[in-house]
Structure 1
Amino acid sequence: MASPLFLRARITHFLFVFLVSMAVSSAQTADDSLGASAFSSDFQFPTIQAEKLIRSLNLFPKRGANLHAGGEEVLGASPIVEKPVRFPFMADSEPSVKDLGHHAGYYKLPHTKDARMFYFFFESRSSKADPVVIWLTGGPGCSSELALFYENGPFYITSNISLGWNDFGWDKVSNLIYVDQPTGTGFSYSSDDEDMRHDEEGVSNDLYDFLQAFFKEHPQFLKNDFYITGESYAGHYIPAFAARVHQGNKDKQGLHVNLKGFAIGNGLTNPEIQYKAYTDYALDMKLIQQADYNRMKKTVSDCEQAIKLCGADGGSSCLAAYMVCNRIFNHIVDLSGGKNYYDIRKKCEGDLCYDFSNMEDFLNLKSVRDALGVGDIDFVSCSSTVYEAMVTDWMRNLEVGIPAMLEDGIKLLVYAGEYDLICNWLGNSRWVHAMEWSGQKKFAAAATQPFSVDGAEAGQQKGYGPLTFLKVHDAGHMVPMDQPKASVEMLRRWMQGKLTQADDHLAPM
């Protein structure tokens, strides 16, 4: 008998064919100027689109998602099982890992049939009184180990598959958590495909349940300030998770979490505004010509209308919006002549835009897997199945829940590297400025200030009250990878309430 996931995939496939044929017919009737070839290359089934994005990072996971039988031999009876971690192949350097609290664990998600969420926890290199920061990588379906080893974690992977210390890891200013989510991503897994998530309600509830269990396991950190961070598709996850934590606090559910703020890096949050910004950004950065821009106006209009039908609640209309709107992005990429859509200063060599393959090699070493306690669980670096499962969530507007949190004093930082196309700074700036809240006009009128590090301008920032926007210079999609020192300074000042101060002469780290 076919599994429920397979049946859903077949139903979704036929629905896609129907919706896309209607969308293509409508668009071709209204606007033939792009030609038939554009439709054949741009309208891609989400799995194909996901696999293309995964290959561009030189990642080749063995599975589409981490669906794995069993697991009690790993977890035992406890809902959360954690072990101290000391990675093999650590380069000889200070500080000694023996002196630091490094942990890895699994949490059995309660509102699932059999799902386990994998996480890392690194205690601060500076002080256990530092804030607790959780990081969410996007995709959807990419493991947070990408950030851990290539962006802002304590370590980086060397060319000979060993580890070195990251001088600008975010654990220098925070107690840092990385989670593999949604289910099926990274080392997180289930034996039942019904545990796959399709929307932010499921994602945020799983994260909230994990957070409650984490603080029960580590009660000494419960009083610390707590911040939610991440990038890319986490522009959806982060606002939903923050709202879930805030609501849980208001309703006195479980432990009170000392939520102070959330930060979105090069994220997708309000698709209606951000997709409209694609052609403007591409024209400004000379990725397309004026004639290309003019030809794409009708497609942009079709995208806007499709997203309005999608709304904030998801559903079948969001499938059509995904297909129509991603045609804009794909066509710009085709016209740009091999530019790296994560960093337009660079070129992609064929499908390859970055090489993150050392991460897969490292995490598949038996000595590393033994250190983590993952047993025979596969590592799925980026999951095409999770990507497809979340496709009806893609075009939803996650900005709608943010104003209420701003009014309650929860801080928001939106930052973006200036050379990223896929979640570009222009679209992010526009949705932040368009967001309706009591401080909207004063935020818009606020002066733009330089964000300086070591006496040099590293970006442009503006802020009012709990809201801050920062464009980071000389960075693409992954700001902590491209500008590691600037990113950790950004985090530290923001958490201290000093980010929008022009003076960068703060205490040294």
Structure 2
Amino acid sequence: MKIASHLFVHLSLLVIVSCYGGNGYDPLENALKIQRSRRTTLNHASKDLEVKYSYSQVYVGPQDGLKDADKITKLPGQPAGVDFDQYSGYVTVDPIHGRALFYYLAESPVNSSTNPLVLWLNGGPGCSSFGGGAMMELGPFRVNTDNATLSRNKHAWNNVANVLFLESPAGVGFSYSNTSSDYITDDVQTAKDSYTFLINWLERFPEYKTRDFYIAGESYAGHYVPQLAKLILQNNKIANQTVINLKGIALGNAYVDDETENTGMYDYFWTHAIISDEIHEGIISNCNFSEGATITDACNEYQKQAYAAKSNVYFYDIYAPLCSPFSNSTPSISRFDPCTGNYILGYLNTPVVQQSLHAKPVHWESCNDFIGAHWKDMPFTVLPVIQDLMASGISVWIYSGDTDGRVPVTTSRYSINKLQTTVETPWYPWMYQGEVGGYVVGYQNLTFVTIRGAGHFVPSYQPGRALAFFTSFLEGKLPANH
């Protein structure tokens, strides 16, 4: 398929999407509904609890001169005094299909030559790591209300690491393919493409080849991150293959297990006064969310009642105001502007901005619903993959903003219980600037951290606390209790 056709397909796929986390828009729930209905129709459990990868030769393309071409001279509207280097562009992962993934790298202002490299992945499936992760959460800039200028995020994660944001899979954000069938994909292909991206990106940026490497992400990246980490560890054992120096992973408000996602969410609704005792009891009495179980009509009815009772509470941060003309009149715990997604949408669809990013002209959207709706295979659980990673010796952290209703703290705790690991450091409050930043418990081969007052997009709502926990993660130390 020619590039012109690709652009038409890419545009057509993105027409009906909305801002990630926008009021009433829930890409994860949309994808899960489709997957759950397929499981019911096919009446089968996942083929295998553990995602299997068969090694195939990884494409490595020529990278000479591409790093210099990718350097960003200046982002339109960026504030004065930017003291770090930025790069963005495309890495081809399949030259036959014309599949290329877009990245943005924000290097550290200080110690960039020695600081670790962190890959950040947003979820969805189908949502942008650049628009969401970089521009709304942990990147160096925030988009101002004029859709045209940027402010510095003083709590950006590139203060302590060189952060690489990857738009994955193809069809998300600025990433694309010249073959439209590539937009129908799954977990396994996404992991393979992300791995191919890394191998080629390290050829383009060889100074990072021996650097400590971490992967972090949130939401459906609870699938992406552990699967990619497992693939890296597996391929590191192959002779003559680039060894990626993976040290650890961090999973934020992560969808890792479908049973605990359901039980944890409805228990959270009940304990946070969103649903009644009667609805909660109806769900407990009528719903079996375990793999292979039949979801009864009574269960579906009580779930509908739960969603109706929730009304228009913002799912991703239950105490946040909605984006509306009156939003400024409602105080927010985190002071995060609920209309930020609209500013990002306007900024990233400005032609001069896309040119400065070396991006192909496209109508950029934060999420691509087509990808989530046509996801081919979504394992019921990735907990066995996480167990393998825990046993491998790398650092495994799970963190949770405690005001998220989408993948709430209860879900994370129930998932950890299924891992059946033992407590080494009992639950305690960790401190940030004289206040409780959250709570932490150290397990054998696993750390669990909560971030107080943060919703689904943790660094958006509590940027200072998020940077503090992230710094502890990189240092391999539990957050301080004083």
1:43-122 equivalences in 2 (<5 Å): 51=17, 54=20, 56=22, 78=62, 81-82=66-67, 83-96=70-83, 100-110=84-94, 113-122=97-106
Q: How many residues align?
A: 416
Between the aligned partners of 2:63 and 2:301, the Cα distance in structure 1 is 43
8 Å Cα contact 2:20/2:341 also seen in 1? no
1:129-278 equivalences in 2 (<5 Å): 129-144=114-129, 145-160=131-146, 161-252=148-239, 254-278=241-265
SS at match of 2:175: coil
8 Å Cα contact 1:184/1:380 also seen in 2? no
Q: Please report how far the alpha carbon of residue 348 of structure 1 lies from its aligned counterpart in structure 2 after TM superposition.
A: 4.0
Q: Please report how far the alpha carbon of residue 442 of structure 1 lies from its aligned counterpart in structure 2 after TM superposition.
A: 3.3
SS at match of 2:370: helix
The alignment status of 1:295 with 2:282, answered yes or no, reads yes
Between the aligned partners of 1:58 and 1:273, the Cα distance in structure 2 is 23
Between the aligned partners of 1:325 and 1:146, the Cα distance in structure 2 is 34
Counterpart of 1:441? 422
Q: Please report how far the alpha carbon of residue 141 of structure 1 lies from its aligned counterpart in structure 2 after TM superposition.
A: 0.6
What amino acid maps onto 2:22 in structure 1? S
8 Å Cα contact 2:260/2:414 also seen in 1? yes
Which of 351, 357, 362 does residue 366 from structure 1 map onto? Answer: 351
Cα 1:209–1:57 change in 2 (3 A) is: farther
The alignment status of 1:378 with 2:363, answered yes or no, reads yes
What amino acid maps onto 1:379 in structure 2? W
Q: Please report how far the alpha carbon of residue 53 of structure 1 lies from its aligned counterpart in structure 2 after TM superposition.
A: 7.4
8 Å Cα contact 2:401/2:451 also seen in 1? yes
SS at match of 1:461: strand
Please tell me the root mean square deviation across aligned C-alpha atoms, in Å.
Answer: 2.9
Q: Please report how far the alpha carbon of residue 328 of structure 1 lies from its aligned counterpart in structure 2 after TM superposition.
A: 6.9
TM-score (structure 2 length as normaliser): 0.80
Between the aligned partners of 2:439 and 2:21, the Cα distance in structure 1 is 33
Between the aligned partners of 1:51 and 1:328, the Cα distance in structure 2 is 28
SS at match of 2:252: strand
Between the aligned partners of 1:164 and 1:148, the Cα distance in structure 2 is 13
Which of 399, 417, 421 does residue 415 from structure 1 map onto? Answer: 399
Counterpart of 2:453? 474
Q: Please report how far the alpha carbon of residue 465 of structure 1 lies from its aligned counterpart in structure 2 after TM superposition.
A: 4.2
8 Å Cα contact 1:114/1:192 also seen in 2? yes
Cα 1:333–1:222 change in 2 (3 A) is: same
Cα 1:164–1:501 change in 2 (3 A) is: closer
After TM superposition, the structure 1 stretch with the greater mean CA deviation from structure 2, 151-160 or 77-86, is: 77-86
Between the aligned partners of 2:269 and 2:470, the Cα distance in structure 1 is 29
Q: Please report how far the alpha carbon of residue 146 of structure 1 lies from its aligned counterpart in structure 2 after TM superposition.
A: 1.2
Between the aligned partners of 2:103 and 2:127, the Cα distance in structure 1 is 14
Q: Which runs of 5+ in 2 are unaligned?
A: 1-12, 26-60, 328-337
Between the aligned partners of 2:452 and 2:273, the Cα distance in structure 1 is 18
Counterpart of 1:340? 314
TM-score (structure 1 length as normaliser): 0.76
Counterpart of 1:67? none
8 Å Cα contact 2:383/2:419 also seen in 1? yes
Q: Please report how far the alpha carbon of residue 453 of structure 1 lies from its aligned counterpart in structure 2 after TM superposition.
A: 1.1
Q: Deviations over 1:65-107 (max 9, x none)?
A: xxxxxxxxxxxx85694511133433543334xxx22100101
What amino acid maps onto 1:133 in structure 2? V
Cα 1:326–1:470 change in 2 (3 A) is: farther
Q: Which runs of 5+ in 1 are unaligned?
A: 1-46, 60-76, 310-319, 504-509
SS at match of 1:308: coil
SS at match of 2:426: coil
Counterpart of 2:468? 489
Kindly, what percent of the aligned residue pairs are identical? 25
8 Å Cα contact 1:58/1:356 also seen in 2? no
8 Å Cα contact 1:269/1:398 also seen in 2? yes
Between the aligned partners of 2:239 and 2:478, the Cα distance in structure 1 is 31
Cα 1:57–1:383 change in 2 (3 A) is: farther
